[in-house]
Homo-oligomer: A and B are copies of this chain.
């Protein structure tokens, strides 16, 4: 459902892939790594061009940028997004390796940085910090999946974008309000 069709599209014999990967899952794991690296690069690019300034507003902008780009990437490349979370991806595998790609920052690392800044700027109480990256991640991850796979499949893109902003509003408020 993947391997043979992939070889066909590349115009090569079905078993050619076995010279490069142990089996189908190994190939998918490699694709997962590549997709993760690409996602990280996309997010990094947007975060990088946030102008410096008040740490509070920078932190909020970073949080928004990470979330927005995360679901944007999923909508633009649903196949790659799925592949990225196929398996493997054990927190470690998303941050540690990245031998081929540049940008040492994984998506998770970028999110963590934004949250750390949010705490150090005083906008987010430090009691709320533990595991916060997983909470924020869950929100955008779930939303992305509902959009590309799930019951929100039919939502038009522009509407999805505005709901994404509402989602990030909610997360930000949940972290930073009294």
A residues adjacent to B (C-beta < 8 A): 85, 87, 89-91, 94, 108, 128, 130-132, 134-135, 137-146, 149-154, 163, 166-167, 169-175, 177-178
Contact = CB atoms under 8 A, between A and B. Distances in A.
A175 B167 CA distance: 10
A42 to B, nearest CB: 18
B131 A138 contact: no
Nearest to A151: B91
A154 B90 contact: yes
Pairs A-B, 5 closest by C-beta atoms: A142-B142, A174-B174, A177-B177, A138-B143, A170-B174
7 contacts: A85-B151, A89-B150, A135-B166, A139-B142, A141-B142, A173-B173, A177-B177
Nearest to A169: B174
A43 to B, nearest CB: 16
Given A108-B151, A135-B167, A177-B177, 13 more contacts: A85-B150, A85-B151, A130-B166, A131-B166, A132-B170, A134-B167, A135-B163, A138-B140, A141-B146, A142-B144, A170-B171, A170-B175, A174-B174
